[in-house]
Structure 1
Amino acid sequence: MRLPIGTAAAACDCPECHGPASRVFSSPYLSQLSPATARARSREEQSREAPEVVTSVPSPRRRQQPPHPALQRLPRP
């Protein structure tokens, strides 16, 4: 039986033998992450031990156009 943290009772019966069951704590369901989140998590874990070395300044990103023409008339910093 899976229960969120803090919602499990102190004692519980085994669903198969109906005897007293001990609580078992397990890791969160990381296998159910989206592929993008799993890749980001994996990359972050790898960077703890061997961070990527940057040898040059990244090129500036192109500025996106405002989504509405009225926004183009607003003053820019």
Structure 2
Amino acid sequence: MPLYAYRCSHCSDFELHSPMQQVRDEVPCPDCGGASKRLITAPYLSRASSSAYKLIEGTARTAAEPAVVTSPGAWPRRSSGTTSNPLHQKLPRPD
């Protein structure tokens, strides 16, 4: 739902969520009840944070320019099914 900005001549600016079919040029101010005219503002297309933008750009970059690997790397170790973590010894065991 779009967000529209309005300005009251007696109070301050405020924003309202409204369907596009029901948007009005004038609405009553929520504080004083006076007539408030709709402002023309630039569209605010995203509310994502800068870290979200970095993640999106990094993902897009790696899709177009994948990292080149010179060697396949080490093979993963196979687990023996037991753990060396002492906290795991306190967990209940099936009979």
TM superposition score normalised by structure 1: 0.34
Greater percentage in strand: 2
TM superposition score normalised by structure 2: 0.29
Q: Which structure exhibits the higher relative contact order, with contacts defined as CA atoms closer than 8 Å and separated by 6 or more residues?
A: 2
Greater percentage in helix: 1
Q: Which has the larger radius of gyration?
A: 2
